[in-house]
Each structure stands twice: as C-alpha cells, then as structure tokens.
C-alpha cells in the first residue's frame, strides 16, 4: 500500500501521520509524494508504525512512478557496474 493511501485510510493529516511514524513532516511528505527514497531506519519506523501496511517495495514503487527516467538510468547504471565488478571465473581443475 502506498503511504498516501495508508494516511488517507486512517484520516490523518500529514503532520499527524509523520508524528505517528516518528519522522519529520518534510520527510513524510517527500516520501509520500515519491520525491525521496528513505533510509533503512526510516523504512523500519514506517513499516512498524503502519503494522506492515506500507513496506519498502511500496516506497520504491512511489519513487519509480515519480521519477521514471531516473529509475531507468539508475537501473542501467547498476547493471553496468555489475558487469564491471563481476568476479573473474575460477579456473577449472583438470
């Protein structure tokens, strides 16, 4: 579930939801709109406060929706670095 969907289902204002989740209003608002990716500690706080209704993949989906071009570039950069840093093949024993 998206953070905004959870907040609206609980009829919280942004300020109330941020306080409930233990994050600042600005952070909560940015996460809700997909403008930022949260740190791990923030993810755990939100997931705990929402009792698992909002999870890490939900945040990623919101960010991806808000930034489709950046996500594509991020994904391609990750694939390129994975190819560069791939461990060399071990020689086969004969």
Going from N- to C-terminal start, the domains of the chain cover 3-84
Calpha distance 32→7 (Å, rounded) = 9
Chain Cα centroid distance, residue 21: 15
**For residue 38, what pLDDT is reported?**
84
Q: What is the per-residue pLDDT across 41-90, written as a single tens digit (0 to 9) for each?
A: 998 999 999 999 998 888 778 877 887 777 666 566 666 555 544 555 55
Alpha helix (H) residue ranges in 25-67? 25-32, 40-49, 56-66
pTM over 0.75: no
Q: What is the CATH number of domain 3-84?
A: 1.10.260
For the ranges 6-15, 21-30, 39-48, 59-68, the lowest mean pLDDT is seen at 59-68
pLDDT of residue 57: 86
DSSP 1: -
């Amino acid at each position: 579930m998206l953070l905004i969907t959870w907040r609206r289902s609980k009829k919280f204002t942004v300020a109330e939801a941020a306080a409930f989740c233990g994050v600042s209003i600005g952070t909560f608002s940015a996460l809700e709109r997909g403008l930022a990716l949260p740190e791990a500690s923030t993810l755990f706080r939100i997931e705990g406060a929402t009792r698992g209704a909002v999870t890490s993949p939900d945040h990623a989906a919101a960010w991806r929706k808000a930034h489709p071009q950046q996500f594509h570039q991020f994904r391609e950069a990750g694939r390129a670095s994975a190819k560069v840093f791939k461990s060399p093949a071990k020689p086969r024993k004969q």
